């Protein structure tokens, strides 16, 4: 099958592209190489994809001519591209254009193709709000621009299924970590601080936050399981993540143990919109997708530390 992946040079998108290629599919990637974080990291991911014969098209979904730039005979679209996370340096316009407008334009492109592809939207547990411990049927209460705009994007996708204009599904991902994690995220930053004697900025109270830290390959398992289950997934929303919770403090301790060194902490004021708890309720994914994440936090962090040492030390 021919598959388009947006945000393919990013963290989870690049891993998914490689997995789908190994499964025997023809994968085309799209990325705008946003400067939200160091584009050199995305370039590193893109090189890995190119080495696996995966083409990456530099394209901005918000403004570029999608019909002219993209193949028109697609079986699937996996939509990862977004303005991520909670950032004091990002404006509402950044979130709106990248998460809502870009999704709208991609949906219009897909809807007007001769053979409509199955559309897989990649959403986030931030949709639920300050606590994300619920099933997919609970009304969301996002508390950040990121969560609000990702919910809006998800509903644009679901509206297409309700109107029977596209077949689609949406996956809400929980606290993903592993090799290629963004440099602003918890574990890449912790590993960097530990190996390079930097101070780790710890937001006040965040050491007690509980997270369903989920290894990236366990997330990819759930995402690619949609293939062959299109009728089951059409119009449905699924949580993907581990049911195991760990505090941020436990995560810090695990990294210190793996690196065999103490990490200096620099206390920062609390961050508005930050979730206090995420615990993935995956009953629906277990039942319908036979989803079963297995990687322990320790094993996943060891793999991430090795990736960091290989590429940045």
Backbone phi, psi, residue 210, to 5°? -100, 135
Say if residues 58 and 50 touch (Cβ distance below 8 Å).
Answer: no
Q: Which of 45, 30, 92, 32 is nearest to 188 (CA)?
A: 45
Q: Parallel, antiparallel, or unpaired for β 246-247 and 210-211?
A: antiparallel
Which structure tokens are listed for 129? 């709000």
Residue of 146, 177, 187, 215 marked active site: 146
Q: 146 an active-site residue?
A: yes
Q: Which of 280, 177, 277, 171 is nearest to 224 (CA)?
A: 171
Measure the CA–CA gap between 17 and 230, rounded to whole angstroms.
19
Q: Using only C-alpha atoms, what is the Rg of the chain?
A: 19
Q: Which of 166, 193, 161 is nearest to 313 (CA)?
A: 193
Q: Which of the residues are catalytic? A: 146
């Amino acid at each position: 099958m021919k598959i388009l992946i947006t945000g393919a040079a990013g963290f989870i998108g690049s891993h998914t592209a490689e997995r789908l290629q190994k499964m025997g599919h023809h994968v085309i990637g799209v990325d705008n190489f946003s400067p939200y974080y160091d584009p050199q990291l995305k370039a590193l991911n893109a090189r890995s994809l190119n080495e696996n014969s995966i083409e990456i098209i530099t394209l901005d979904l918000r403004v570029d001519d999608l019909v002219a730039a993209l193949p028109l005979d697609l079986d699937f679209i996996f939509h990862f591209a977004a303005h991520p996370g909670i950032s004091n340096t990002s404006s509402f316009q950044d979130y709106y254009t990248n998460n809502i407008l870009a999704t709208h334009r991609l949906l219009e492109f897909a809807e007007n193709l001769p053979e409509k592809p199955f559309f897989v939207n990649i959403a986030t547990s931030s949709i639920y709000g300050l606590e994300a411990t619920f099933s997919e049927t609970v009304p969301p209460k996002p508390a950040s621009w990121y969560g609000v705009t990702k919910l809006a994007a998800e509903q644009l996708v679901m509206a297409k299924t309700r109107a029977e204009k596209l077949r689609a599904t949406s996956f809400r991902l929980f606290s993903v970590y592993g090799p290629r994690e963004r440099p602003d995220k918890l574990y890449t930053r912790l590993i960097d601080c530990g190996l390079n004697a930097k101070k780790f900025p710890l937001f006040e109270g965040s050491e007690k936050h509980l997270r369903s830290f989920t290894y990236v390959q366990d997330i990819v398992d759930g995402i690619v399981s949609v293939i062959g289950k299109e009728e089951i997934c059409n119009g449905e929303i699924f949580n993907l993540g581990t049911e195991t919770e760990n505090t941020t403090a436990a995560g810090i301790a695990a990294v210190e143990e793996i690196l065999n060194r103490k990490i200096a902490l620099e206390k920062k004021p609390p961050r508005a919109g930050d979730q206090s708890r995420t615990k993935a309720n995956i009953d629906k994914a277990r039942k319908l997708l036979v989803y079963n994440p297995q990687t322990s936090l320790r094993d996943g962090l060891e793999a991430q530390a090795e990736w960091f040492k290989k590429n940045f030390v």
